[in-house]
Amino acid sequence: MAEPLGEPADRRTVRDGQVPVTVERGLVYATAGGTELRLDVHRPDGPGTPVVLYAHGGGWTRDDRGTDAETRLAPLAAQGITVVSADYRRAPRAVFPQQVHDLKGAVRWLRAHGPRLGLATERLGVWGASAGAYLVSLLALSEGEEELEGTVGGHLDRSSAVQAVVHWFGQTDLVASASRSELERRLLPFHFEADLLGTTEEELLAERARRWSLLSRVSAGAPPFLVAHGDRDRIVPPAQGFALHQALVRAGARSRLELLGGAGHEDAEFGSRATLAATAAWLRAVL
């Protein structure tokens, strides 16, 4: 018997310029650790549009699936891409890699329910910003890895593999991003990596950071990547984006690197019509 989808909590049609985008909010894709995980679907007019799963930023500790809806998600959908924005459990309450389990569960759920939703989910892209970029990239580089697959949402007969990755200004080398001198710790009191990896003890943090860094996971079998970074990013330096791009190319995978001049971390330029149009064009070409 088919599993009931239920009704989304909210459905409405909005306009970005002259292009209508239908938004279905609040579809439950899993319950994990007593928490309902929901997703929103931003759907442009027309059948068969490419589908991308979006993971929000927020240092793995804050924000949710709706954070970038008006500035980023609906405008990309208006460019002809169906954007599905998913919740994932946040640190420090959620212990890594539960965040990756959640997003892989969302991919499998979309594959299972794509036909009933009217979505072409046989080929799927993922898109993330900052902390979300790290999570979707790890998702893409860990197909079939039992420790990262998890069982969230069920549908274990469905693949969590993805066919395209849009990585916006995310961490790629957790060793580098978590390592700071005493002066840097006073001036930049960020502890996002420690929250994510569940420790402030320096040696253990470094060990876990090495294990979960993206650079050690790239291979020729990686899906195509679009890596975008601002050249004035002082939170996640652009060297992190360069390193991921170079590692992918050296491994024999496909990667495109875009450097946004004058842009900082989570800069408004990433939500500009030009940047979103270029991102949509790349997704259409790959998917």
Distances in Å between the Cα of 88 and the Cα atoms of 132, 184, 279 are 10, 30, 23
Q: What angle do CA 26, 29, 32 make, to 5 degrees?
A: 110
For 149, what's the count of Cα atoms within 13 Å in the CB-facing half-sphere?
Answer: 14
Check whether 2 has a pLDDT greater than 80.
no
pLDDT digits (tens, 9 = 90+) for 169-208: 999 987 665 566 666 666 554 565 666 666 666 666 666 7
Whole-model pTM? 0.89
Backbone torsions φ then ψ of 125, nearest 5 degrees: -105, 160
Is 169:266 a contact under the CB 8 Å cutoff? Answer: yes
Q: Please state, as a whole number, how many other Cβ atoms lie within 10 Å of the Cβ of residue 133.
A: 30
Provide the edge-to-edge strand list for the sheet that holds 255-260.
10-16, 19-32, 35-44, 82-86, 51-55, 124-129, 164-168, 225-230, 255-260
Among residues 21, 26, 11, which one has the least CA distance to residue 276? 21
Of 100-104, 176-180, 226-230, the least confident: 176-180
